[in-house]
Each structure stands twice: as C-alpha cells, then as structure tokens.
Amino acid sequence: MKLTRRTPGAITGLPHLREFAKVVGKAMDTDIGTDAARPWTRHIIKSIESLRPKDTRIVSWFEPWNKQNRYVLVCGHTVERGEYLVDLAWGLQHGGGDEGHGGILLALECEWGGSEQHLWEDFVKLADVRAERKVFVGVGNNGVYAGRLDLIDRFARFLARHHHARTDQILVALGGKYTRFKDQVTIALLGPRGGSKVLRNG
C-alpha cells in the first residue's frame, strides 16, 4: 500500500497518521495503574494533544466561537464536556454556531471491551464518520489479541467494501490487556481500498 503524507482533499496539514501511531503506541506502553475503560480513554486522548493544530482550544460543541481560532477541539470523556459522535473529534470551524461548522478533522474511537463484537461495533462507527484523520484504539481479551492480524485484515476488507470509507486511511492500535501492554500492542495503517500495513506487531 502506498502511503501518502496528505490524504486526498486534506485542507489542514494535520500530522500524518504515522505520527499518531508513535504517540498512541507510547501511550499504550504506559502503566496508568488501572484497568478501567474511562481513564484509559482519557489517557489516549490526552496523549495526542501534542499533535493538534496550535490554534485550537477545548470547547464544547455548541460553545460560542472565537473568531481568532479556526479550529475547535471537541473532546469527550471529561467531566465538563460531552462527546460528539465519537470519543474525540477535532472540528473545523468557519464561523459561529452550527452554520460555521466545517466538518471533522480527527475522529478517535476507543473500545476497551473484551469481545471482538465490541471492537467491531466501534470500528464500524468510526468508518461511518467522515473525517480527515481516523484513529481506532481497541483492547480485547487474550483470544481477540491472538487473532489480531486476522482481525486487522478483516477490518481492511470491510473498509474496501464500505460506501465512502473505502478511500479512507484508518490507524488501528490493538492491545491485549489493559495495563502494562509492552509487547502486546499491534498498530496498523489501513486503506485505501483494502490495503494494510503493520507498523508494529507486539
């Protein structure tokens, strides 16, 4: 699969998904001292803050827009913020209110369930969302992780048949347990049109 530095139609110069892969991989290598899903999702979200455009601020989706900021960071899984469609969305804003919304730049979805079905449900949702960059982080039980490469291949084939996501690139990071992943993290870049490239195989 040929990897491009900018996805077709990219308008923002966001970091390439390989940069997200490095940051997410490092975050998953960290022991945060808990198996709970919500703290892990917050940990992943916080870890990628360094990659967001510099002229952003954290807002709720319908908060009044500041004309000096072109982007808004729409963040779920915090005490004071609700999420929009996915666990984390970076949005492009052209003006105030709903009419100024210009689309989603980054869509991030995390699933810390134990079964493959749980992972599929969130991956399908991510595929359906239109965004310039897409990142999926999933943790399954030992059986799910043992079949991770087959699961990645099936994710890629699913994208190839998807009505509009078949031209997308999606970063997939799969872990085998909640804490102290270390050698149990596999990261792959999927798409476009069914291709896949494993960047790390723990």
Within a domain: residue 8? no
Tell which residue, 177, 174, 180, has the closest CA to residue 148.
174
Instruction: For residue 172, tell me if it sits in a domain.
Output: yes
Judge whether 28 lies within some domain. Answer: yes
As a three-state string, the secondary structure of the chain is CCCCCCCCCCCCCCCCHHHHHHHHHHHHCCCCCCCCHHHHHHHHHHHCHHHCCCCCCEECCCCCCCCCCCEEEEECCCCCCCCECECEEEEEECCCCHHHEEEEEEEEEEECCCCHHHHHHHHHHHHHCCEEEEEEEEECCHHHHHCHHHHHHHHHHHHHHCCCHHHCCEEEEEECCCCCCCCCEEEEEECCCCCEEEEEEC
Asked whether residue 52 is domain-assigned, the answer is yes
Total residues belonging to the chain: 202
Per the structure, the complete domain to which residue 190 belongs is given by 17-201
Q: How far is CA 116 from CA 41, 155, 161, 200, in A?
A: 18, 12, 20, 20
pLDDT of the residue at 198: 96
Domain assignment present for residue 1? The answer is no
Assess if residue 6 is contained within a domain.
no
Q: Please give the tally of structural domains in the chain.
A: 1
With contact defined as beta carbons under 8 Å apart, do 128 and 163 qualify? no
The strands making up 131-139's β-sheet, listed across from edge to edge, are: 58-59, 71-75, 88-93, 101-111, 131-139, 170-175, 185-190, 196-201
Tokens representing 115 are 């079964």
Query: Is 0.75 topped by the overall pTM?
Result: yes
In a domain, 110, yes or no: yes
Residue 105: inside a domain: yes
Q: Walk along the chain (202 residues) in steps of 10 and give the mean pLDDT of each run.
A: 38 82 93 83 87 63 46 45 75 69 85 88 94 92 86 94 88 77 83 88 84
